[in-house]
Structure 1
């Protein structure tokens, strides 16, 4: 698989980290194999998670091919960029095609990334995980490696102005791999993955520099003393987003049909 743009972007990201004094605190990179297919499951806090969640793989000499919603690939600017990175489009209305493509990548020895929450967390806590990660890894016979990031939401996330100011910390933990098999119950594997990632996130939040997340911070979960929406409040926000999205799609279909 030929890559021209991806290495350039990685180099640019490293320059950003240096010039912007983005302090990367990362552990567990040894869990990412230097070769062979593997699936990394990442929590989702921001629009820059693709960059930071791919950093552990880059440190091991790997390029991560992320599974992303099809709408990103339909964008006139974002689409060509995503395709140049050889990322994988997933149609949320019918995800089998994206899962099959991910399987082909894994069979070819690629490192594939997935956000099993399915969307950015507005509470900044881990949302219930979907079973796709467990099923893809089991079907391909590859390790399923949890990665948790913390601090990326401070740069660019839903409903907040972007802030690429200097002197921010990003914490990343790569966990020990799971090895699901086709005989395993994907719901149980997902439950295990959820518990591991929740524990990792808790460690990252508690060890994050206190002066960068004072009580009341909008990027800190409510149960840690921040002012982020609670999981229940976030769920209500998601429901409203889905309702509005469905209304827009219905209006577009009506417009196209001429009615």
Structure 2
């Protein structure tokens, strides 16, 4: 079936990014498979992360079906778009339905996108991963595709105002080699390996980021362990 909505939405997003003067540093996109199912797994630091994860799959000419909160699908504006782009609603009271929906998509050869931290990290460090991504990849017989984003938190994140004007923000994206989801491996062990790989990519993305805070008032987006004023993971947990 022809994709009548998703490609134009991507085109609009790219136009908006050009207007905003965003600067992209993308590496590892050759690891995105050109065909077949895969589970794309990323850190989560911004409300816009799904957009940038989707862009990383475009060099391979792939579209990513993201698992997202069911409430987004009920919104009068975003709802019709999310359904038309074949994203996957997640109702936590009916988690099995979302899991089976994602499983069908993966087995049909789609790339499905997930954020296994479940919520945005206020500390901008990597939180604990839920094991659902590992189990989903194992059940579907598809690889895990680790990814990390950096800089998106400066645009729109939890607890801070949106900054969607022409700020020329750099956005760094790193995609890693696919990780085989062997069916015999314990899901917790696989989750640990996956999280470790995303952590490596996140560290690399942060190191490659071309700017530092301009002063104390601009250090909120930098994690505490890197000298910024973002909450520590413990402080962030108390804010959640």
Relative to the length of structure 2, the TM-score reads: 0.95
1:223 aligns with 2:233: no
Q: Deviations over 1:109-151 (max 9, x none)?
A: 1111011100111111111000111001011111100011111
The answer for the alignment partner of 2:134 in structure 1 is 134
The answer for the alignment partner of 1:208 in structure 2 is 209
The answer for the alignment partner of 2:89 in structure 1 is 89
Aligned partners of 1:168 and 1:212 also within 8 Å: no
Aligned partners of 2:213 and 2:222 also within 8 Å: no
Q: Deviations over 1:181-213 (max 9, x none)?
A: 221100000001111111111111122113456
- Name the SS for the 2:36 alignment partner: coil
Name stretches of at least 5 consecutive residues in structure 2 with no aligned partner. Answer: none
1:183 aligns with 2:166: no
The answer for the alignment partner of 1:46 in structure 2 is 46
Aligned partners of 1:213 and 1:220 also within 8 Å: no
The answer for the alignment partner of 1:28 in structure 2 is 28
Q: Residue 144 and residue 154 in structure 1: after superposition, are their counterparts in 2 closer, same or farther (change >3 A)?
A: same
- In 2: Cα distance, 1:108 partner to 1:155 partner: 34
- In 1: Cα distance, 2:103 partner to 2:215 partner: 43
Q: Deviations over 1:90-122 (max 9, x none)?
A: 122331111110010011111110111001111
Q: Deviations over 1:224-258 (max 9, x none)?
A: 011111100111111xxxxxxxxxxxxxxxxxxxx
Higher-Rg structure is 1
- In 2: Cα distance, 1:116 partner to 1:176 partner: 18
Aligned length: 238
The answer for the alignment partner of 1:245 in structure 2 is none
Name stretches of at least 5 consecutive residues in structure 1 with no aligned partner. Answer: 239-259
Relative to the length of structure 1, the TM-score reads: 0.88
- Name the SS for the 1:3 alignment partner: coil
What is the Cα-based RMSD across aligned positions, in Å?
1.4
